[in-house]
Amino acid sequence: MADQEQAELRLQLARLRQEHMDFDLAINAMEATGCDRLAVQRMKKKKLVIKDRLQDIEDQVIPDLTA
């Protein structure tokens, strides 16, 4: 993988990690204020999608040592 591609993936990782953390904070605030359960569930689902994207990119950036 070219250095440019790896740098772009690392930047995307940082953005997704921040977005994941933002969703976590928002979910905690929603739960603390007694927000609608359906809205909380939707936020959790979006957070899970971000986590899956994070894992996919991390797999590309960090090589599998057993392979």
Residue that has been written with the tokens 């971000």 in this structure: 50
Residue that has been written with the tokens 């979910």 in this structure: 27
Structure confidence at residue 23 as a pLDDT band (50, 70, 90): very high
> With a threshold of 0.85, does the pTM exceed it?
no
Q: Identify the pLDDT of residue 20.
A: 97
Q: What percent of the chain has pLDDT over 70?
A: 93
Q: Identify the pLDDT of residue 66.
A: 61
Q: Identify the pLDDT of residue 33.
A: 95
What's the CA gap between 9 and 28, in Å, rounded? Answer: 28
CB-based burial, 4-27: b 16+ in 10 Å, e otherwise = eeeeeeeeebeebeeebeebeeeb
Query: What number is the average pLDDT over the span 40-61?
Result: 94
What are the extents of the domains in the chain?
9-61
DSSP letter assigned to residue 36: -
Look at the alpha carbons of 42, 16, 56, 8 in this order and tell me if their dihedral is positive or negative: positive
